[in-house]
């Protein structure tokens, strides 16, 4: 992809405390290197704390809260994983509303690891082919998705991956998917 593949596009990254650091940082760097503007949307103003597996890591400044965020202002959404992060997100009505709005508008979404928990709560996985961290298989299947064990899966604008080892393929695929004009609703 060229450096300006996503020029003029705004990408929301929805995350809370406990986000897996590499699953936030690497996709954000990928979309920014492709020319997009990335913004961190979270549950409260201030900052969130990332983790490297179970070890607390860096803090990242929040750009806007889910309560104040409007999906119409973004071209795509990324949901990083980590275990605690999506568990916090899926219990917040504003975060769930924000996620559902991307699907209602037909905008592309990237999700990795435990991130699909929030998609389940938003009731947007039924009939979709998706991958995730293996422990979410039953949850996704019970929510009506077809779970597969693959590095990266794209299904109608939804890009999913399993784990940090899949990040190179995930990052390349979200940049390609987010660049498709078929999903742009400008």
Answer for the pair 174, 154: CB distance below 8 angstroms, yes or no: no
Strand order in the sheet with 19-20: 19-20, 47-52, 55-61
Q: Is 171 a catalytic residue?
A: no
Of 53, 113, 171, 183, the active-site residue reads 113
Whole-number Å distance between alpha carbons of 119 and 102 = 11
Whole-number Å distance between alpha carbons of 149 and 152 = 9
Encode 30-54 in three state secondary structure.
HHHHCCCEEEEEECCCCEEEEEECC
Three-class secondary structure of residue 121 per DSSP? helix
Q: Is 113 a catalytic residue?
A: yes
Q: Which of 116, 105, 117, 99 is nearest to 160 (CA)?
A: 116
Q: Which of 88, 65, 49 is nearest to 12 (CA)?
A: 65
Q: Which of 155, 151, 107 is nearest to 130 (CA)?
A: 155
* Catalytic positions, written as ranges: 113-114
């Amino acid at each position: 992809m060229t450096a300006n593949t996503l020029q003029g596009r705004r990408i929301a990254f929805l995350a809370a405390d406990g986000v897996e650091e590499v699953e936030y940082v690497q996709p954000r760097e990928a979309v920014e290197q492709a020319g997009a503007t990335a913004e961190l949307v979270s549950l409260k103003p201030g900052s969130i704390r990332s983790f490297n597996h179970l070890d607390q890591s860096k803090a990242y400044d929040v750009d806007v809260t889910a309560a104040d965020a409007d999906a119409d202002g973004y071209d795509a959404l990324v949901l990083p994983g980590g275990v605690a992060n999506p568990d916090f997100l899926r219990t917040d009505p504003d975060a769930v509303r924000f996620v559902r709005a991307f699907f209602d508008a037909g905008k592309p979404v990237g999700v990795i690891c435990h991130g699909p928990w929030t998609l389940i709560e938003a009731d947007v996985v039924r009939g979709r082919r998706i991958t995730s961290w293996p422990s979410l298989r039953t949850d996704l299947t019970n929510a009506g998705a077809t779970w597969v064990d693959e590095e990266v899966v794209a299904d109608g604008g939804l890009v999913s991956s399993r784990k940090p080892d899949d990040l190179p393929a995930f990052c390349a695929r979200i940049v390609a998917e987010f660049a498709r004009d078929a999903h742009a609703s400008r």
